[in-house]
């Protein structure tokens, strides 16, 4: 039997003249999240309505992870007439536990003869008479909602909280430096909450990309995709960088130099994926490589903004978030990260000029392109449970957007469509 659900948004409603665009994006993301469940999705009355016969638990589980959703509920739709509303309210009130309740009515259709308060009082009196429960406006055991819309009324009593924020995709794309540790997945989740779509860039030390893809890196990306939808992971080998710098750079400058290489690589890839910024999981002074001086060295010469959503978070706050979004356990799995190979004792105040001089001497731009030619692009669609894998170098060449070739604003969106894995 088909059931109805109502999806509410909060921040999207504050967008003024841009609200229709954000609401359409949210409706589109809701549809994608319900792929395979034979659901119809439509907008109206500053809400999103879903109709489906799929399992209620599965519908609520999927929609509760969609960014932009404030809350959602399974709702019954009845004629906007007091007898019909009363029948449904009584049915729901009898099934609810507890001895106290309240009725919360919202009258979007101002042509309805009764005010919201009058509807609450009338329906509340009937529930008291029929069930013996008492009214509590401040701390009720149950709350039955009645939304009076044009041509119908919605009655629901159980609301499921969503993550809030903005629909993924409305704030553009970012190339996100992704290590697979605790911090970078949480940073990606926060970026998605603000509407960004991350393109994950991971440098791997294993001899082949299957190790990170089949291990913790792939696992964490799949967890994040439950909130962000279909995603792209770029796996770039560490070997070319390691060979180029072997015996040339050692000691305390090595971590800052490698971080510069990762940043330059991300910056070179950005135009091909329509990305307007870079992002990291940096937290100010959490590690020696993340002092304010080293962050400046990381950014030195960059032509794109570098977003750091965790900048002011302490480790405990980051860990709590990782646990709540489900990435924490996967992040603790054993994995040889590239950063563990370079020196573990970086300078806290690396000089940007020294790093820039070495990057130029070692030809980082060309080195990055060589690494891309051996890289792998992975596309994952959580709603379909499908993964697509392609050689990164071939994909870039096919799109005629290898970083050394053309770019330009006019081609970026078109280019990304050709690179979109699904």
Q: How would DSSP label each residue in 284-331?
A: TTSSGGGSHHHHHHHHTT-SS-EE-TTTT--HHHHHHHHHHHT-HHHH
* Chosen domain end from 108, 128, 161: 161
Distance of CA 170 to the CA centre of its chain: 11
Q: Judge whether 342 lies within some domain.
A: yes
Q: Judge whether 167 lies within some domain.
A: no
Q: Looking up tokens 């009515």, which residue turns up?
A: 105
* CA dist., res. 235 & res. 229, Å (int): 19
Note whether 133 and 108 are same-domain residues.
Answer: yes
Note whether 298 and 336 are same-domain residues.
Answer: yes
Q: Judge whether 73 lies within some domain.
A: yes
Q: Judge whether 168 lies within some domain.
A: no
To which H or E segment does residue 44 belong?
Answer: strand 40-44
Residue 421 near residue 377 (C-beta atoms within 8 A): yes
Which residue from 236, 277, 276, 275 is spatially nearest to 258, judged by alpha carbons? 236
> Helices H, strands E: what count in the chain?
16, 16
Q: Work out whether strand 376-381 and strand 386-391 pair parallel, antiparallel, or are unpaired.
A: antiparallel
* Chosen domain end from 131, 161, 191: 161
Note whether 147 and 28 are same-domain residues.
Answer: yes
Q: Looking up tokens 């309740």, which residue turns up?
A: 101
Note whether 357 and 301 are same-domain residues.
Answer: yes
- Could you give the number of structural domains in the chain? 2
Distance of CA 227 to the CA centre of its chain: 5
* CA dist., res. 151 & res. 221, Å (int): 44
* CA dist., res. 212 & res. 232, Å (int): 14
Note whether 291 and 393 are same-domain residues.
Answer: yes
* CA dist., res. 167 & res. 73, Å (int): 19
Residue 17 sits in a domain of what CATH number? 3.30.2130.30
* CA dist., res. 144 & res. 151, Å (int): 20
Q: Judge whether 53 lies within some domain.
A: yes
What's the pLDDT at 239? 87
Note whether 217 and 314 are same-domain residues.
Answer: yes
Note whether 22 and 110 are same-domain residues.
Answer: yes
Residue 329 near residue 229 (C-beta atoms within 8 A): no
Note whether 80 and 180 are same-domain residues.
Answer: no
- Taking only the tens of pLDDT, the chain with its 422 residues reads 789 999 999 888 778 888 899 999 999 999 999 998 999 999 988 899 999 999 999 999 999 999 999 999 999 999 999 999 999 999 999 999 999 999 999 998 888 999 999 999 999 999 999 999 999 999 999 999 999 999 999 999 999 999 999 999 999 999 999 988 999 999 999 999 999 999 999 999 877 787 888 889 999 999 999 999 889 999 999 888 888 888 777 667 888 888 999 999 999 999 999 999 999 999 999 988 899 998 998 889 899 999 999 999 999 999 999 999 999 999 999 877 766 666 566 677 777 788 888 889 989 999 999 999 999 999 998 888 888 999 999 888 876 544 444 444 333 344 444 445 44
Note whether 247 and 194 are same-domain residues.
Answer: yes
* CA dist., res. 22 & res. 46, Å (int): 11
- State phi, psi for 293 to the nearest 5 degrees: -75, -40
Q: Judge whether 135 lies within some domain.
A: yes
Note whether 152 and 178 are same-domain residues.
Answer: no
Q: Judge whether 36 lies within some domain.
A: yes
Cα–Cα separations (whole angstroms), residue 177 to 110, 120, 296: 51, 52, 17
Cα–Cα separations (whole angstroms), residue 215 to 206, 219, 332, 337: 11, 6, 12, 12
Please state the pTM of the whole predicted model: 0.89
- Structural domain including 48 reads 3-161
Note whether 253 and 364 are same-domain residues.
Answer: yes
* Chosen domain end from 139, 161, 183: 161
Q: Looking up tokens 């990057």, which residue turns up?
A: 359
* Residue 385 CB partners (closer than 8 Å, separation 6+): none
- How large is the C-alpha radius of gyration of the chain? 26
Note whether 33 and 124 are same-domain residues.
Answer: yes
Q: How many residues does the chain have?
A: 422
Residue 225 sits in a domain of what CATH number? 3.40.50.620
* CA dist., res. 188 & res. 196, Å (int): 9
Neighbour count for residue 42 (Cβ, 10 Å): 11
DSSP label at residue 231: E
Q: Among the residues of 334-421, which ranges form H helices?
A: 352-361, 364-373, 392-398, 409-419
* CA dist., res. 205 & res. 203, Å (int): 7
Q: Judge whether 166 lies within some domain.
A: no
Which residue from 266, 235, 268, 267 is spatially nearest to 374, judged by alpha carbons? 235
Angle 144-147-149 (CA atoms, 0-180°, nearest 5)?
A: 160
* Residue 116 CB partners (closer than 8 Å, separation 6+): 105, 106, 107, 148
* CA dist., res. 60 & res. 74, Å (int): 8
């Amino acid at each position: 039997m088909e059931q109805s659900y109502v999806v509410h948004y909060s921040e999207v409603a504050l967008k003024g003249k841009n609200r229709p665009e954000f609401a359409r994006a949210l409706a589109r993301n809701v549809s994608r999240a319900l792929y395979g469940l034979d659901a119809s999705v439509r907008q109206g009355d500053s809400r999103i309505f879903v109709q489906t016969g799929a399992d209620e638990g599965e519908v609520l589980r999927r929609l509760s992870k969609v960014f932009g959703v404030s809350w959602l509920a399974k709702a019954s739709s009845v004629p906007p007439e007091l007898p019909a509303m009363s029948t449904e309210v009584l049915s729901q009130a009898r099934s609810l536990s507890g001895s106290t309740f309240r009725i919360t009515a919202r009258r979007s259709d101002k042509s309805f003869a009764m005010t919201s308060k009058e509807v609450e009082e009338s329906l509340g009196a009937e529930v008291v008479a029929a069930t013996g429960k008492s009214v509590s406006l401040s701390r009720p055991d149950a709350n039955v909602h009645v939304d009076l819309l044009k041509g119908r009324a919605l009655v629901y009593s159980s609301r499921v909280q969503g993550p809030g924020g903005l629909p993924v995709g409305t704030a553009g794309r970012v190339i996100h430096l992704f290590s697979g540790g605790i911090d970078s997945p949480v940073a990606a989740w926060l970026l998605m909450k603000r509407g960004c779509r991350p393109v994950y860039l991971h440098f791997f030390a294993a001899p082949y990309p299957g190790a990170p893809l089949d291990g913790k890196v792939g696992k964490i990306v799949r967890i994040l995709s439950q909130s962000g939808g279909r995603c792209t992971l770029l796996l770039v080998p560490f070997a070319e960088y390691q060979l180029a710098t072997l015996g040339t750079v050692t000691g305390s400058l090595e971590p800052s130099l490698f971080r510069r290489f990762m940043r330059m690589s991300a910056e070179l890839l950005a135009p091909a994926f329509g990305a307007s910024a870079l992002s990291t999981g940096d937290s100010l002074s959490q590690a020696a490589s993340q002092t304010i001086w080293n962050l400046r060295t990381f950014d030195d010469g960059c032509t794109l903004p570098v977003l750091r959503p965790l900048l002011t978070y302490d480790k405990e706050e980051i860990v709590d978030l990782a646990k709540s979004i489900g990435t924490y356990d996967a992040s603790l799995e054993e994995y040889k990260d590239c950063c563990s190979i370079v020196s573990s004792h970086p300078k806290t105040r690396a000089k940007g000029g020294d790093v820039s001089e070495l990057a130029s001497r070692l030809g980082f731009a060309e080195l990055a392109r060589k690494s891309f030619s051996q890289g792998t692009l992975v596309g994952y669609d959580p709603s379909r449970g499908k993964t697509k894998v392609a050689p990164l170098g071939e994909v870039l060449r096919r799109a005629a957007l290898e970083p050394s070739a053309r770019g330009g604003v006019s081609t970026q969106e078109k280019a990304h469509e050709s690179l979109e894995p699904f």
